[in-house]
A and B are shown apart, each in its own frame.
Chain A
Amino acid sequence: MSTAPSRVIETTIGLEIHVELATSSKMFCGCEVAFAGEPNTRTCPVCLGLPGSLPVVNERALEHTIRIARALNCDVASHSFFARKNYFYPDMPKNYQISQYERPLGAGGVLEITGDFPTRRVGITRVHLEEDTGGSLHVGGSGRIADSEYSLEDFNRAGTPLVEIVTEPDIKSADEARAFVTELRAIVEALGVSDVRMEEGSLRVDANISVRNAGETEHGAKVEVKNMNSIRSVGRALEYEEGRQRAALVSGDMPVQETRHFDEKAGTTSPMRTKEYAFDYRYFPDPDLVPFEPSDTWIASIERAMPELPVHKRSRLAEQYGLRPADIGILTTSTAIAEWFEEAASAYDGPAQKVANWIIADLFGLCNEAGIPLTECKIAPRQLAGLVRLVDSGSISGKQAKQVLGGMFATGDDAALIAEKEGLEQLSDAGELSSVVDEVIAENPDAADKVRAGQMNTVGFLVGRVMRKTKGQANPKLVTDLLTQKLAP
């Protein structure tokens, strides 16, 4: 992007993140919480907002919210209540959303993020609990409500517990935003309170982004970016938007306050609506619900039951296994991956870094190709450890091991069994190899002479010949040793 070198432009980003809680039932009724399904099959008078129905709070959702709040270092309100947020939209059964306004469950938190930028402390303004809306399918027109021919409503999702997390505008780049969402997702996943699947909408991210000349005290016009459906999209959308706003600032065509929609395919943002007026949601305490006061003992018991958070896991993995920091970051993006690694590492008695290397360099690739998460692949962690041991023992070469891994991935069989089946066991018998080495020396007298004359780089050529004769099964280290012995000057 072209910014005048004399100008320093700052980017300011704040995030608003929604997390759907994976409770067994909805926020205010007994309907099941699940993704998709036949429309309007998981509904009842309460989540349909039928006249006369009343909400009853799901305590487990309160507990999950307190977990998130504490994991983000928020204070938990000692007195809290639900409020109604009033606005009309056809996918909202009551035309108000039960949410929180004053006294959110959590407030005043902070989350530290690291990456290729100075460590950043991002303030957490609030963590509150609300109910999700249903979903609309706008048929005809552009696919948005304004010009569609008609809309279909599905209330399966209506009433799903939803936690809203709002950050302070402390994030300074798209990179940091991406790192924040990655870390938050890892935390929520570790807490076991949500599926955190962005593509299914159980984790949703909206961003407010603005730019200004360094030194200015007022923020620039705030642009809200929506429709970022993966962590990658968060980075792409904000990078694009940052560039667009910087260019606008430089050209003097100042950005305006608006909501923009990220187009996944084009990688660009486009205006959705300009906020001509602020909505007045007429919040007031919901008279159908009673205020609640989370007791200190309850909060303490929730804290005691909290699993290890990613930040703690990272320092433990570094200390316990001596892994490279970058690899720790990769292995702790999800609890399941970290658990998988730890299980494999514990089944292996050598340096755990070797196991990590196999996971990161090879196994992830296979999983990506197959489009499955690590935990769903057929290889058990102890089987990967077995593969590494097989290489260590010299039974197979590193190159062969990759082939064996492919077989394990396809069948779920142990490494040794596959190596045997595919005839991949390395020839490590010096006696057996000796005759092959002799043959190769006899067939390549010129090369042999060169080695005898001290041209050691020719050894490699002869090793290659031996490997070819043994169809790659010879242990190359042993072959080299034999050749240098036999051709010693």
Chain B
Amino acid sequence: MTAGSGPPSGDGLVWRTATELARLLASGELSSVELTGALIERSDAVDPGINAYLHRTDELALEAAGAADARRSRGEAASPFDGVPVAYKDIFVTRGVPTTCGSKILEGWVPPYDATVVERCHGAGLPMLGKTNLDQFAMGSSTENSGFFPSRNPWDTGRVPGGSSGGSAAAVAAGAVPWAWGTDTGGSVRQPGGLCGLVGAKPTYGRISRYGMIAFASSLDQASPLTRSVEDAAALMAIAAGHDPCDSTSIPSPAENYLDGIDGGIEGLRFGIIKEFTGEGSQPGVRARVDDAYTRLEKLGGTLQEVSMPSFQHGIPAYYLIAPAEASSNLARFDGVRYGSRVAGDTNIVTMNSMTRDEGFGAEVKRRIMIGTYALSAGFYDAYYGKAQRVRTLIIQDLRRAYESVDLIVCPTSPTTAFKLGERTDDPLAMYLSDVYTVPFNLSGNPAVSVPCGLSSDDGLPVGLQIVAKTLDEKTMFRAAYAFEKDLGFAGSPEGRPRL
């Protein structure tokens, strides 16, 4: 730690990107213990207002920060980001640290193992600041389905931060942690990223191991970073990406270095605009910002052309059959027998199972278990689950056809800016429609990133632009997002940060 040059003060520190912090740590201008201390202080100050965390691990973080500093002083940094703290959505299991998945049914459970994502981040030297709030079992778009409390959007604490990874988004947006992990099953990272003015980046399905990520819908779930810059998203994704023998759906090839050539610009890239996404149901302020973004892409040397995705109109219905069907089976293990909470009836095993699940699961979880159970039932399977899988095939085919003529697809991340707490809790369909632009790319497995494209003139809240790449073409996706972010100049500017 040098004294003379004057390290950034605690307040300025908390708004830095992970990449900037890594540079400060590398140069010795900053220690990880100092940084971690500042973030703990910031969390103490802001978390009561936003409820981002379910469980904080300050002591563990400081301990890990000390170890990171020691490594750096020996010249043995575990990675360029050694000592930069991170937070995890409480869907990642963490050895010795309570993991609830946002549900009362897992209250008290302390996992005996680490998720692969957690293990790889530990390996890179990232101290863990805590476990963040989410909609129970990642089912929701606002964190209002958390079994504990809703999180709040740092841009307006009367509004939701989005979901299901809303706790991670709120924490990063509020300066409580430089970056955080979420999971994206139907938009659960891109949508809160958009609503909180952050970058939310979902990799190709299978690119990051799902081992140790509590399953909601196994064929859709992907671990995804929430960050303050495109560069950070590429870096955090790269830390966790790559084959994991513990996950059979993990892509066998090694991951690329997403930072490599990220500043290559977008001259000559062809962007597809989806004809069927007419903007109907979108707020004018959102449409205006996204249209501006398209113009900017052209200005930067990209070309725009329309692509047709007739299958996309079936995206939401197909998603709301496939995801609940898988969930109904994935969540069967929460039965009070082996771990988590148990409500012991005085009669028999069936009563104990039922009472535990009745008290432990929230309404949305129960709704989806019912839908999923129904969709898989004998006599209904073909009409529901089977048909939804066929829609999925059509969506993949539509995208494959589109990518014959374009390099990337662009569209809004979400039809609206952050909505008010309670606004949609009684209307599940309205809530489901928050994901209309994100869901198709979970069904298809393509990588997709939400990057801030400014504030809506309607309400002054952030709007996200979604950029979708071909399977395993994360590098082009990040390159475009990076060029757009730099040119817009929103991220890192005072305008790009909430007045919290």
Besides A45-B111, A57-B248, A280-B378, 17 other A-B contacts (C-beta < 8 A):
A50-B339, A51-B101, A51-B109, A51-B214, A52-B113, A52-B115, A52-B213, A53-B212, A84-B329, A90-B349, A93-B333, A280-B377, A282-B328, A282-B378, A284-B385, A287-B218, A289-B248
Q: Which residues of B contact A51 (CB under 8 A)?
A: 93, 99, 101, 106, 109, 111, 214-215, 333-334, 339
* Complex Cα gap A45–B92 (Å): 14
The distance from the CB of A211 to the nearest CB of chain B, in whole angstroms, is 29
* Complex Cα gap A10–B264 (Å): 80
Any B CB within 8 A of the CB of A288 = yes
The distance from the CB of A399 to the nearest CB of chain B, in whole angstroms, is 63
B330-348: contact bitstring with A at CB < 8 Å (1 yes, 0 no)? 0011110111000000001
Q: Which residues of B contact A53 (CB under 8 A)?
A: 113, 211-212
* Complex Cα gap A54–B211 (Å): 6
Q: Which residues of B contact A95 (CB under 8 A)?
A: 332-333, 335
Q: Identify A54's interface contact among B106, B248, B376, CB under 8 A.
A: B248
Q: Which residues of B contact A413 (CB under 8 A)?
A: none
20 residue pairs A–B, Cβ–Cβ below 8 Å: A45-B113, A50-B93, A51-B93, A51-B106, A52-B213, A52-B215, A53-B211, A54-B210, A54-B246, A84-B329, A88-B332, A96-B329, A153-B337, A153-B338, A282-B328, A282-B381, A287-B217, A287-B249, A287-B326, A289-B248
A129-153: contact bitstring with B at CB < 8 Å (1 yes, 0 no)? 0000000000000000110000101
The distance from the CB of B444 to the nearest CB of chain A, in whole angstroms, is 15
Could you tell me which residues of chain B, from 319 to 371, have a CB within 8 Å of some CB in chain A? 325-326, 328-329, 332-335, 337-339, 348-350, 353
Q: Which residues of B contact A52 (CB under 8 A)?
A: 92-93, 111, 113, 115, 211-215
Could you tell me which residues of chain A, from 383 to 429, have a CB within 8 Å of some CB in chain B? none
Q: Count the B residues whose beta carbon is within 8 Å of the partner chain — how many? A: 45
Q: Identify B111's interface contact among A50, A55, A146, A282, CB under 8 A.
A: A50
Q: Which residues of A contact B329 (CB under 8 A)?
A: 84, 86, 96, 282, 284
* 8 closest cross-chain pairs (CB), A and B: A95-B332, A287-B218, A282-B376, A287-B219, A52-B212, A52-B93, A51-B214, A94-B333
Number of A-B contacts (CB under 8 A): 101
Q: Which residues of B contact A90 (CB under 8 A)?
A: 335, 337, 349
Q: Which partner residue on chain B sits nearest A153 by CB separation?
A: B337
What is the predominant secondary structure among interface residues of chain A facing chain B?
loop
| Among A48, A50, A54: residue with most chain B CB under 10 A | A54
The distance from the CB of B167 to the nearest CB of chain A, in whole angstroms, is 18
Could you tell me which residues of chain B, from 195 to 229, have a CB within 8 Å of some CB in chain A? 210-215, 217-219
By the criterion CB–CB under 8 Å, are A94 and B339 in contact?
no
Could you tell me which residues of chain A, from 43 to 61, have a CB within 8 Å of some CB in chain B? 45, 48-57
Q: Which residues of A contact B338 (CB under 8 A)?
A: 48-49, 93, 153
By the criterion CB–CB under 8 Å, are B215 and A151 in contact?
no
Any A CB within 8 A of the CB of B373 = yes
By the criterion CB–CB under 8 Å, are B112 and A50 in contact?
yes
Any A CB within 8 A of the CB of B245 = yes
Any A CB within 8 A of the CB of B247 = yes
* Complex Cα gap A282–B349 (Å): 21
A331-373: contact bitstring with B at CB < 8 Å (1 yes, 0 no)? 0000000000000000000000000000000000000000000
The distance from the CB of B436 to the nearest CB of chain A, in whole angstroms, is 23
The distance from the CB of A227 to the nearest CB of chain B, in whole angstroms, is 21
Q: Which residues of A contact B335 (CB under 8 A)?
A: 88, 90, 95
Q: Which partner residue on chain A sits nearest B379 by CB separation?
A: A280
The distance from the CB of A285 to the nearest CB of chain B, in whole angstroms, is 9
Any B CB within 8 A of the CB of A442 = no
A281-297: contact bitstring with B at CB < 8 Å (1 yes, 0 no)? 01110011110000000
Q: Which residues of B contact A94 (CB under 8 A)?
A: 332-333
By the criterion CB–CB under 8 Å, are B349 and A151 in contact?
yes
Q: Which residues of B contact A146 (CB under 8 A)?
A: 348
Q: Which residues of B contact A153 (CB under 8 A)?
A: 337-338
The distance from the CB of A87 to the nearest CB of chain B, in whole angstroms, is 9
By the criterion CB–CB under 8 Å, are A284 and B376 in contact?
yes
| Among B212, B332, B381: residue with most chain A CB under 10 A | B332
Q: Count the A residues whose beta carbon is within 8 Å of the partner chain — how many? A: 31
The distance from the CB of B253 to the nearest CB of chain A, in whole angstroms, is 15
Q: Which residues of A contact B101 (CB under 8 A)?
A: 51
Q: Which residues of A contact B247 (CB under 8 A)?
A: 54, 56
Q: Which partner residue on chain A sits nearest B385 by CB separation?
A: A284
Q: Which residues of A contact B219 (CB under 8 A)?
A: 287
Q: Which residues of A contact B212 (CB under 8 A)?
A: 52-53
Q: Which residues of A contact B326 (CB under 8 A)?
A: 287
Q: Which partner residue on chain B sits nearest A289 by CB separation?
A: B248
Q: Which partner residue on chain B sits nearest A145 by CB separation?
A: B349
The distance from the CB of A46 to the nearest CB of chain B, in whole angstroms, is 8
The distance from the CB of A310 to the nearest CB of chain B, in whole angstroms, is 36
* Complex Cα gap A4–B307 (Å): 79
Q: Which residues of B contact A88 (CB under 8 A)?
A: 332, 335, 350, 353
Q: Which residues of B contact A287 (CB under 8 A)?
A: 217-219, 249, 326
| Among A50, A153, A290: residue with most chain B CB under 10 A | A50
By the criterion CB–CB under 8 Å, are A290 and B249 in contact?
yes
* Complex Cα gap A288–B381 (Å): 19
* Complex Cα gap A45–B115 (Å): 11
Q: Which residues of B contact A289 (CB under 8 A)?
A: 248-249
* Complex Cα gap A204–B339 (Å): 31
B374-393: contact bitstring with A at CB < 8 Å (1 yes, 0 no)? 00111001000100000000
By the criterion CB–CB under 8 Å, are B337 and A288 in contact?
no
Q: Which residues of B contact A290 (CB under 8 A)?
A: 248-249
| Among B99, B101, B248: residue with most chain A CB under 10 A | B248
* Complex Cα gap A57–B454 (Å): 47
Q: Which residues of A contact B246 (CB under 8 A)?
A: 54, 56
The distance from the CB of B358 to the nearest CB of chain A, in whole angstroms, is 14
Q: Which residues of A contact B111 (CB under 8 A)?
A: 45, 50-52
* Complex Cα gap A51–B340 (Å): 10
Q: Which residues of B contact A55 (CB under 8 A)?
A: 248
A29-71: contact bitstring with B at CB < 8 Å (1 yes, 0 no)? 0000000000000000100111111111100000000000000
A96-B214 contact given A45-B113, A51-B101, CB 8 Å threshold: no
Q: Identify B218's interface contact among A45, A145, A288, CB under 8 A.
A: A288
The distance from the CB of A115 to the nearest CB of chain B, in whole angstroms, is 39
Q: Which residues of A contact B93 (CB under 8 A)?
A: 50-52
By the criterion CB–CB under 8 Å, are A284 and B325 in contact?
yes
By the criterion CB–CB under 8 Å, are B332 and A86 in contact?
yes
* Complex Cα gap A153–B213 (Å): 26
Could you tell me which residues of chain B, from 376 to 425, have a CB within 8 Å of some CB in chain A? 376-378, 381, 385
Q: Which residues of B contact A56 (CB under 8 A)?
A: 245-248
Q: Which residues of A contact B112 (CB under 8 A)?
A: 45, 50
* Complex Cα gap A56–B209 (Å): 13
* Complex Cα gap A86–B211 (Å): 21
By the criterion CB–CB under 8 Å, are B113 and A50 in contact?
yes
By the criterion CB–CB under 8 Å, are A282 and B377 in contact?
yes
* Complex Cα gap A280–B373 (Å): 10
A266-283: contact bitstring with B at CB < 8 Å (1 yes, 0 no)? 000000000000001011
* Complex Cα gap A50–B215 (Å): 11
Q: Which residues of B contact A283 (CB under 8 A)?
A: 376
* Complex Cα gap A54–B101 (Å): 17
B99-134: contact bitstring with A at CB < 8 Å (1 yes, 0 no)? 101000010010111010000000000000000000
The distance from the CB of A47 to the nearest CB of chain B, in whole angstroms, is 12
The distance from the CB of A50 to the nearest CB of chain B, in whole angstroms, is 7
Could you tell me which residues of chain B, from 163 to 182, have a CB within 8 Å of some CB in chain A? none
Q: Which residues of B contact A145 (CB under 8 A)?
A: 348-349
* Complex Cα gap A86–B385 (Å): 15
Q: Which residues of A contact B249 (CB under 8 A)?
A: 287-290
Q: Which residues of B contact A48 (CB under 8 A)?
A: 338
* Complex Cα gap A40–B295 (Å): 62
By the criterion CB–CB under 8 Å, are A96 and B349 in contact?
no
* Complex Cα gap A95–B246 (Å): 21
Q: Which residues of A contact B334 (CB under 8 A)?
A: 51
* Complex Cα gap A2–B258 (Å): 82
